[in-house]
Every structure is written in C-alpha cells, then in structure tokens.
Structure 1
C-alpha cells in the first residue's frame, strides 16, 4: 500500500476563473447529525425526515462522507478553509483562530458573489463578531441556545423572546436575505444550524412526537459492560469511557435512559428537516430549484451506544461519518448513491468549482461534482483522520487514523494501550480488532507508514499546541456551552 497524496498540486491562483457559469449555492450544515439518522436509510424505522428523503431521491446521498476530525470547531474550520486540523490549527473547541486563515467564501466575494452566513460559527474561542467572506452575517457565541437567542446581525446584537426557536429563526432570516438579494449577482448561502447538538431541545410543535419510541441497540453496546471487549481486543480506554461523560452508563454525567435521549435527538432533528423543506420550497417558487446547487452536511457524526459510547471524537464509523446530500438537476439526475469516499475538506473546492473559481493550492480536497455528473470516478483511495487530546475531555486520546474501502487503522498517541485494525468488509460493526493477528501485520505496517507519509506531506508531524486558559476543575463553563 503506497500513499500517493492526490492533494498535492502545482501552485495556482485562486482567482483564476474557469469557463463555468457562476452557479448559486446553498450549503446547510447541522451539528452532530450522524450519517444514517434519516428516514430513507431505515436505520431508525420510526424517524420521519420527508425533506431529507426528497433531497436524496432528487439528488445524491454520499454514504461514505467523512470528516477529518470528529469535533465541532476543527471540522467547521476544515470546511471553511479546506484544510486538515493540523494545518488550520483549530484543533479543538477552545483553540483560537490563528488569524492567518482564508475562508473559501472570501474567494466567492472576490468573484462577485453575495454571501450570507446564518447560525453557528463556533470556530475555537471566537465569539459572534462578523467574519471575512460574508456580506451578511448573523451568528451567536459558541454553541448558542435553542430558545430565545441573541443574534449578532452585522455587528448589532438583537435579542429574541416569546419562545423563539433558533432553527426556525435562522431559516426565516436566511430566506428573508435571499428575498432581498441583488438578483443580478450570484449568491452563496451558508445556513449553519445549532441543531442537533446536546442538550437536545425540539421545537414545541415536535415535542412528544416520538415519546416512548426505542432504537435497536447496536451489537457492540454491551461489550464493555460484560468484559467481552478483552476477548475482542479493544483498547482499555474504550471500556473506561462507559461510565463517563461519553459513556452509555453516565451520559453527559446524567443517568438518563438512552432511548429517551435518542427521542429528544430525533425530535430536534425534525426542525432541521422542516428548514430544508422551507429552503427548497423557496427555490421552487423563485424558479431556481433546477439550477441551484444545494448541499446538506453534518459537522461530525454521533455514536448512540456503539462500543458503549455516545457523542463523537473517536474514529469509529458512526462518529466520523456524516450525512451528505447534494442536489442540482442541471448537473446530474437524482437518486444516485455514490460509494466514493468524500470528506469535509472537499466542500470548499466543490463550491469554488461551481462558482468558476480555481481552488487555491493550500486546499487538499477536490470537487465531488465530477463523480455525480459521471465525468470521472473518485481518485481518493483512502481518508485520513486526526483528533487531538482535550483537557476538558481527557477520556479520548490523540488518534491518527486511516480508512480504505477494506480496512480501518487507528494509532493512539500519548497513551499506553493497543491500536486498532478492523476489516470493514467482513466486520462493518468494528467488533473484532485484528491488530494482533499474525496475518495482518503487513497491513498494519503499510497503513501506519501511510499515515506518517500523509502527515509529512501535509506538514502534520508536529502537534499544533495553542495558548489557551483553563480554570480549575469545576469552575469552567458547562461543556454543552462550548
């Protein structure tokens, strides 16, 4: 196995325009939405997401979409910069913006686009102030709140009351901005929802919709409780998390039933689905539904009991995979389900390509539109992953990982524990760790070498420490506020 960095290319001018028409683009981002929690996947039989289902049937559903880091701020920074976490250095939810980053909407502005941002920014320790690349700005500090939010609208803070629900508010404001746009210019809308981040709070109209419903617990749910994880050769740190903030026996330091929490999560997701429906209806009324590129994505996945874990950060499938729905009838026919592996670093290059703007050399990703239009197959044979240990959540170690269509390999840094190797074809639930299998040692060596090759080729061999301030244990803000 030889790592050939498809990302490296000759130096290019990002403002070098192509002959493509400047297409309108809407990018909708959600928080903590895992890849298979949508009605059409059948994962949760009672979950109804008619607008996501329609987006998939009329467009495309990438079943192998991944983030480079399964955590809010690093993933959002990777989307906006098109870079890996070790490059943009926003490695966790507190690491500050280094001040030298360029966001892909800045290139759109230079190309004549009107750009609007609505919702959660949450890039390191940044507040709610307007950011480069957006001609219209509406945001809030950190994670924000579900009810009665205060928005920073182009530098002026406006408080909303009377049980104003954040998902509805952001959607209404985004559509109002589109109504008042300059119709002579192309537009890029970035609608960034708070939902479905914990603590989950659905819109009042959705509360109780799924009361009493339950999910089928995953096959690996009980392994750390029974001790069978030792026979399966899982790392000790995974078992230790079971009774922790990210474990099923002490979820978010509460003793709630997992089924009740999943119900809250799914009911909160209903507001997002309605938001998508509102956006698509607006496009139809304006006669733009055929030509506008619509992309829906999650910033990271979410575990619901797999390996005895909840939440994200780890490199298991449900944590690193995200929903990615794409629709544009002008480009491709609907109903396609590409198996190609794509990543969040591909969003910027994709949007820039459809705007007729050449991507800059510092973006290692590629546009996924040629895969959908049938122009060519994906050249990506693997995806790489990184997560850096956090002071506030010390249960998960630093991890570097690699995934192919066949295998997944995880290397842990700064912890005395075993690494992991899974045969995804024969063990999609990642139950049997083959790291010590004599027949797999050459694969382990090749994938480990490939990870180091990737890090060296992308200037990632040094952990990017950031200057942050930590208070005494118990004195800092509740982690849900980050």
Structure 2
C-alpha cells in the first residue's frame, strides 16, 4: 500500500512538472532560445548591397547576415503602413482583426502582444525604439520588462526617450540609431544570464525625412539609381494602354507621386541618396549586435531576425512611399540567422508574411501558439522540413486614410504566379498581373478574356479569407479632424 502511495505521489509530481496542476510555467514546452528581433522602418526588400539593386549601396553587415544566415526575398506585410504592420507583427493577426488599421487608430484595449507570452514563460524582454502603433505615445507597453521609446515618429537627432517611465533628453547631436543600439547592447550586457532573453530593437530609420548620421552624410553624393521601367508611364499617358487604374496616374502630382514628392520639388535621386545614407547607420547597428553575440559566445544559439515594417517605392508606377499593393511597397527584407538551427547561405523562395513573426518566435521559445494567430513559423522553411506545406498565397488589405485620401481602400491576393488587386469605394478598374512573365507589374490583365476565371477565383478567395477571419466589416475608428488652422474651436469638417 505504501509503495502504491509513493508511486502515485511521484506521478503527481511529474504531472505538475509537465504542465497540469499549479505549474508556475505552463507556457514552456521545449528549449527556450534567445531571440533578437530588429525592425526597421520603410526598408524595401532589395535595397541591400548583396541584392545588386543599387550597385553603389554598401551594407556589409546585412550582406554578412544574409550570407551566414538566410535571406527570404518573398516576404510580405499584410498592410503596407507603419502602425497596422507593427500591430500585425506584435499580435500575429491581420489588420481587420486587431483593428489598428491606420496610423491614428488607437489600440482597442483587448490585444495581447506576443512578448507577453514570453514574459509568462520566464523571458526577460526589452524594447528599444519606435513603437508607433496607433496614436499611442511613449508609455511602457505590456510584455516588456525593460522599455525605451519615444512618441510617434520620433526624431533623428537629440531625441527624448521614455526609459521605464522616466523621460531622458539627449543633446550634443545624439543620433537615434546609435543611441538605441548602444542602450540595447547595454541591456543585453546587464541582463540576468540565467534567464532567456528577447530583445526588440525597433529603429526609426529609414523613415522620411531621411537624415543620415553625420559620419555618413555625403558618402553617396551625386549617385543616381536606374529609374524603373514604369516610372514615366503615368506621365506620358501610356498607362491607359497598360490598363492601369486612373487613381495611380492621378497620384503622380500628389504627396506620394514622383512629380510632387512630399509636396516638395526635390530631385528623386537626391532623396534616394539620403535614404541610402540613412540606411548605413542601421547596417552598422546590425554589425554591432552581431559582434556582441560573437564576443559573448551567443552567436551560434541566438535566433536573429531582421525585418522591415513595410516596403517603399522609388518611382515605380510614378509613385513613392508605400500603402499600395505593388511589389516594392509590400515586400520587405527578412534576414534570419541561427547556426544551431540551419546552415547559412540560404535563399528560400517560399512566401512569408509579417503575421509569421510571432508564431516563429513563440515556437523557438517553446511557447504554444495562440489559436487567434493565423500565421506559421518559417523556421521549417530554413531547416528544409519537407513535411511543412509552403504558403500558397498571401492576402493584403489597406484602408483609406483621411490624411492621405489619394490611395483608396485595397484588398489583394498574391500567389507565386499572379497578383489580384481589388479596390473598394472608388470608380476605377481592378488589377491582375502575371508575376512570372511580368515581374514589374506593367501589364494589367484584368480585362484579358483568357484571365477572367483567374480574376474571378482570386476575387472569391479574398472574400472567403475576409469571411473566415471576421473581416467583412471595415473597422472604422473615431478620429476627429479639424479645419485647417482652426484648432481653437475644434470644428470637425
């Protein structure tokens, strides 16, 4: 009898240890890997030295990360806009699900960010940089044991950081990219070495208006890029033969058009130079992080992920900036390294989305993925797991903004072969592109008789996706706007 009681007692102890009863750490399911996630702003997928897109652009540290790790060239965001994309990264959900649909829409108050799960699993978590998710300020957010941020877009020089609730102002030409990197590495150095860590380094760069570090200013002065083949079509009227939407042509002389960029008469090549020089500080930041990991003996075991929050157009279709569903706007860089998991030099072509970041990190932390996250870990793509089914399509959504009414509401779907773009609330044509034969998206096939079944099936797939993910209702937000110059009486117009 005593032997039976002893056996039962042992089984109960094992049960508590493996997840039932009063388990102090019910989220842990396997080895907890250290993770560093570096996010940059408006960095398009091919503006890195190793891609060859811009022959004179040098990014040695990103090149090394890609060479020793992996570069996933077919990585997409669900919404090509700062706040919605960042919310999708943090929640693992689509914009219509988390409802932060633009840069002003507030957090609804019922969201859970994936670092919160890491915290419960025993991780020490640090956030450094640009939060800018909805209309939120710089206050510390759930899921982070250490917090350093600034309100909104922030500034490139002499920033003020909210450090765990205390605001600290920096002067003497302090550069934000350098400051965030320095503080992030200092936090890593002072961390509890007995606990796993997750570090989220979120750069302001390379958001407009671009300001490089003083040491990089002028490095690329006078350099020029090859203008895209679709640069002049909206200017010459050729877009009508190519069957592009009218709204694209109309944008040419708008805030997001090449003939009136940000309502300035600047030269596009000069602006690209500023962008690339600003990117150099980010590249050095990547190098500093990787150097620290190597010196501390953490390089082999730490999962490092570098990503952009959305892409950026430099003249394609006569446009700049983002928001639209063309490739250069929706594709982002994704560089990944972890020698313990996979060998370097990989360039898998499978499609990945920003909603896959949270599931990937949770899986490597040994944390069970919540049911409301539709994404999947992309690690099996890198390890060559043939049992994992490749993503067959990505979906896209963008909701019309009061502040930038030039771009309509967009719903889209992309496969390896085709892209379908559907517009809402505007009298204009939709778009269908054959990506294999027309990677620059020059010839809209929406009216092609041979492509009607493809267009119909993709349109129906978009509606099915929205129905299955509770996205059939556009999530409107209360965003009060005032008449120009009339802030005293706050009259909405």
Band of TM-score, shorter chain: over 0.9
2:440 to 429, 448, 460: 429
Q: How does 1:206-245 map to 2 (within 5 A)?
A: 206-245=216-255
Larger Rg: 2
The match for 2:5 is: none
1:286 to 293, 296, 300: 296
2:87 to 55, 77, 83: 77
What TM-score does the superposition give when structure 2 sets the normalisation length?
A: 0.93
* Cα distance in 2, alignment partners of residues 227 and 260 from structure 1: 26
State the Cα deviation string for residues 103-146 of structure 1 (Å, max 9, x = none): 00000000000000000000110000000000000000000000
**Counterpart contact for 2:156–2:176, Cα < 8 Å:** yes
Correspondence 1:404 to 2:415: yes
Correspondence 1:38 to 2:48: yes
* Cα distance in 2, alignment partners of residues 203 and 379 from structure 1: 40
2:64 to 54, 59, 82: 54
State the Cα deviation string for residues 381-407 of structure 1 (Å, max 9, x = none): 000000000000000000000000000
2:77 to 58, 62, 67: 67
* Cα distance in 2, alignment partners of residues 348 and 395 from structure 1: 32
The match for 2:276 is: 266
State the Cα deviation string for residues 155-200 of structure 1 (Å, max 9, x = none): 0000000000000000000000001000000000000000000000
1:275 to 285, 296, 303: 285
**Counterpart contact for 1:371–1:378, Cα < 8 Å:** no
* Cα distance in 2, alignment partners of residues 425 and 22 from structure 1: 40
Correspondence 1:301 to 2:317: no
Correspondence 1:383 to 2:394: yes
2:167 to 157, 160, 164: 157
2:454 to 411, 428, 443: 443
Q: How many residues align?
A: 462
CA RMSD for the aligned pairs? 1.0
The match for 1:109 is: 119
TM-superposed CA distance for 1:468, in Å, is 1.3
Higher RCO (Cα < 8 Å, 6 or more apart)? 1
Correspondence 1:257 to 2:260: no
* Cα distance in 2, alignment partners of residues 112 and 33 from structure 1: 32
SS in 1 for 2:33: coil
**Counterpart contact for 2:27–2:117, Cα < 8 Å:** no
Structure 2: runs of 5 or more not aligned: 1-24, 488-493
* Cα distance in 2, alignment partners of residues 64 and 206 from structure 1: 30
State the Cα deviation string for residues 197-247 of structure 1 (Å, max 9, x = none): 000000000000000000000000000000000000000000000000000
**Counterpart contact for 1:68–1:85, Cα < 8 Å:** yes
Q: Which moved more, 1:434-443 or 1:374-383?
A: 374-383
The match for 2:11 is: none
1:172 to 182, 191, 194: 182
TM-superposed CA distance for 1:17, in Å, is 4.4
Structure 1: runs of 5 or more not aligned: 1-14, 477-482
TM-superposed CA distance for 1:467, in Å, is 1.0
**Counterpart contact for 1:16–1:358, Cα < 8 Å:** no
The match for 2:425 is: 414
What TM-score does the superposition give when structure 1 sets the normalisation length?
A: 0.95
